Structure 1
């Protein structure tokens, strides 16, 4: 059985993987002493404050070296291994960066479902838990929050068309 990341390539071959920056930061902070978390947080934020993906990668390499110098090899290794999954948003228009970098709407929905399921406590079977989650999702989809547009996709469609035209010209 394929996992989420592995199945993306099979079912959505053109999809790009963007790891949530907040979760990436939390993973790094989990191996950093509490006294150095603010310093490491500033370093990680500096990576994602760069203008493009290449500059972000160069900054990440510098951060890895600095973490090693601070005697934080586990944090350096996590940054080195995981940084390739976090700057995917640079391939999209600037106005979409904030929405692509994190998965806040999904987190909000999951928090709401978790809150509702805790009220119930114990479910007789998995089907009843699924029914509760589906009912909550249907409710959210029908509210103003569920129907508002998260991103303006017009610029993204233009960008996709430009890329397709560039491929046709180069072929």
Structure 2
């Protein structure tokens, strides 16, 4: 774990019985893409809740295991997670998950107003993300949504969904704008843990999730490269040449 390029962070909750009481505990997961373009599961840990302190301890432990060279972190807009990323990894750019952004935006948009948007609200919001200019994207979104509350939501965090545009177009834009890669792993975890429903303790839950993580990681390492990192190397060389 000596180097990394991109990390995805997310958490899911499992029901665990502690001292005769059933509680929901967070399973914190970090997935990364190394400089060979291959996916790796970096860490899986349990926490009582998805708080800033829990995420901070999780990230500090990763850095203590010699994780370095992280340039981009992708996650949802959880306040505790974002604060922990900024404190532990201030050198890394943060990308707000594009899919979560769309969901949150549509949550603020009453369904009765969807007909007022071209080709439906989801398509209208999605079309604003295809423009490289942050200001232009925000202006177009406000023009289409008008006085609806979704405009306020986009105005507050719109720029944070553009971090992936600093990378080469193509695979990097497609794979690095959301947490979909980790969501697929969460789907598989959900399929396995649903059979158990309530774990007798946190350690039993952690053992099952880690066993699945090890199996998935081995499959990823044997599979084809997830991203062609040569494109990024050329992109960085061009950026340095232009800066000089």
TM-score interval for Structure 1 and Structure 2 normalised by the shorter chain: 0.7 to 0.9
Which of the pair is proportionally richer in helix?
1
- Give the Cα separation in 2 of the matches to 1:151 and 1:7: 27
- Give the Cα separation in 2 of the matches to 1:36 and 1:93: 36
Give matches, 1:57-136, under 5 Å: 57-69=135-147, 72=148, 74-95=149-170, 96-136=172-212
- Give the Cα separation in 2 of the matches to 1:57 and 1:145: 40
Q: Which runs of 5+ in 2 are unaligned?
A: 1-52, 57-79
- Give the Cα separation in 2 of the matches to 1:66 and 1:92: 28
Q: What secondary structure is seen at the aligned counterpart in 2 of 1:8?
A: helix
- Give the Cα separation in 1 of the matches to 2:222 and 2:97: 21
- Give the Cα separation in 1 of the matches to 2:176 and 2:220: 21
- Give the Cα separation in 1 of the matches to 2:106 and 2:210: 34
TM (normalized to structure 2)?
0.59
- Give the Cα separation in 2 of the matches to 1:13 and 1:144: 28
1:154 aligned to which of 224, 227, 230: 230
- Give the Cα separation in 1 of the matches to 2:81 and 2:222: 24
Higher relative contact order (CA 8 A, sep 6+): 2
Residue-by-residue CA offset, 1:145-167 (whole Å, 9 max, x unaligned)? 87432111122133334545666
TM (normalized to structure 1)?
0.81
- Give the Cα separation in 2 of the matches to 1:102 and 1:82: 15
- The CA deviation at 1:11 is 3.3
Aligned residues: 162
Judge conservation of contact 1:141–1:147 (CA < 8 Å) in 2.
no
Residue-by-residue CA offset, 1:53-72 (whole Å, 9 max, x unaligned)? x2x43132232244234xx1
Which of the pair is proportionally richer in strand?
2
Q: What secondary structure is seen at the aligned counterpart in 1 of 2:109?
A: coil
2:128 aligned to which of 3, 27, 47: 47
- RMSD over aligned Cα atoms: 2.3
